[in-house]
Amino acid sequence: MAHVFQIDPNTKKNWVSTSKHAVTVSYFYDSTRNVYRIISLDGSKAIINSTITPNMTFTKTSQKFGQWADSRANTVYGLGFSSEHHLSKFAEKFQEFKEAARLAKEKSQEKMELTSTPSQESAGGDIQSPLTPESINGTDDERLMPEVMQNSEPRAEPTQNALTFTHSSTISKHWEAELATLKGNNAKLTAALLESTANVKQWKQQLAAYQEEAERLHKRVTELECVSSQANAVHTHKTELNQTIQELESMLKKKEEEIERLKQEIDSARELQVQRDSLTQKLQEVEIRNKDLEGQLSDLEQRLEKSQNEQEAFRNNLKTLLEILDGKIFELTELRDNLAKLIECS
């Protein structure tokens, strides 16, 4: 995760932030063109899509900031990491993929040389080559621009005053991730709750049917006891009916336990909802704090600029005063010399 910056195309000196918060920066292999890329997405927008070439160089300009020039995109990318370890790890990966890009380019050139060997000759001795203009010159991604933006690589970095805002953005990102996780869990629990509610209704219907069946069986047992003359058969049938009733009662008990478990899950879902609301409130507080910090940072920058202007005006006034003082001293010296000459003459 890193904050992404891009050089200002107008000044070629100042950095312009292209990501609202820290985003994932990944290495990607494009198998269709046999090239390696650095990709970064901010939502659905691609803020980095840089093809790695053998002549690229990743430069560490500070302990947590690095940059590289992309001559194809005619720009310079900058990454601000949260620690020096992350910066070093990214730089090592950059060097690995740069070497892989060099090997891929050499392998592609070898294939081009093999395909450029004469394959067949005509009757008159003319040699036919299978090469096309595209294979000779290379694809757009394989052709490298001759010049690298050496003079356009800035050494400017985000100021120290922006560290507080970066830290707050990290906290905000953490709470956003927590909130997204809770939203996902809440959606799952809501779906499970709806499904469980439907199951509870079905189980209640089944329970009512089982109770009706049990009453019907009890009535049947009574009828059989009164009507049947075969006591043993009636007793056996009664035993079977009693077993069926016991099974139904056991099933009913399990359903009641299941209903109790679902009630507990509903309570848990409500607790998660309360936690989600609390995290939402904390996130809003962090956003308000971020706005306050941005206002303070802007005020400090204005005060700093005003102080610098006042110092510059004071220097100019002091310089003018010194020049006037030098002139007066020079005039007094001349006056003294003239007085001395007059005294000597008299």
Q: What is the pLDDT of residue 151?
A: 33
Q: What is the pLDDT of residue 67?
A: 93
- Considering the chain, what percentage of its residues have pLDDT values greater than 90? 23
pLDDT in tens, 16-46: 888 888 888 888 887 777 888 898 888 778 8
Q: Nearest Cα to 50, choosing from 72, 34, 30, 22? A: 72
Q: What is the pLDDT of residue 160?
A: 39
Distances (CA, A) of 166 to 121, 252, 302, 309: 67, 59, 20, 28
pLDDT at 198 exceeding the cut of 70 = yes
Q: Nearest Cα to 25, choosing from 55, 9, 46? A: 46
Query: Which carries the bigger pLDDT value, residue 205 or residue 324?
Result: 324
State the pLDDT confidence band at 234, using cuts at 50, 70 and 90. Answer: low
**DSSP class per residue in 250-282:** HHHHHHHHHHHHHHHHHHHHHHHHHHHHHHHHH
Q: What is the pLDDT of residue 102?
A: 86
State the pLDDT confidence band at 192, using cuts at 50, 70 and 90. Answer: low
Q: What is the pLDDT of residue 227?
A: 66
Distances (CA, A) of 142 to 49, 135, 136, 138, 319: 16, 10, 11, 6, 59
Q: What is the pLDDT of residue 111?
A: 73
Q: Average pLDDT in the 239-260 region?
A: 90
Amino acid identity of 236?
A: T
pLDDT at 300 exceeding the cut of 80 = yes
First to last CA, the chain: 91
Residues 157 and 76 sit within 8 Å (Cβ to Cβ)? no
Q: What is the pLDDT of residue 185?
A: 67
Q: What is the pLDDT of residue 162?
A: 42
pLDDT in tens, 136-175: 233 333 333 333 233 333 333 444 334 444 555 676 676 7
Residues 60 and 91 sit within 8 Å (Cβ to Cβ)? yes
pLDDT in tens, 99-145: 888 888 888 777 777 766 544 443 343 333 333 333 323 333 333 33
Considering the chain, what is the average pLDDT of its residues?
78
Record the pTM: 0.34
Amino acid identity of 13?
A: K
- Considering the chain, what percentage of its residues have pLDDT values greater than 70? 78
pLDDT in tens, 49-59: 899 988 889 99
Least reliable range by pLDDT among 73-77, 157-161, 245-249, 318-322? 157-161
Q: What is the pLDDT of residue 285?
A: 92
DSSP character at residue 83: S
Least reliable range by pLDDT among 178-187, 226-235, 310-319, 336-345? 226-235
Residues 33 and 101 sit within 8 Å (Cβ to Cβ)? no
- The tokens describing 289, both together, are 């704090």
Q: What is the pLDDT of residue 154?
A: 37
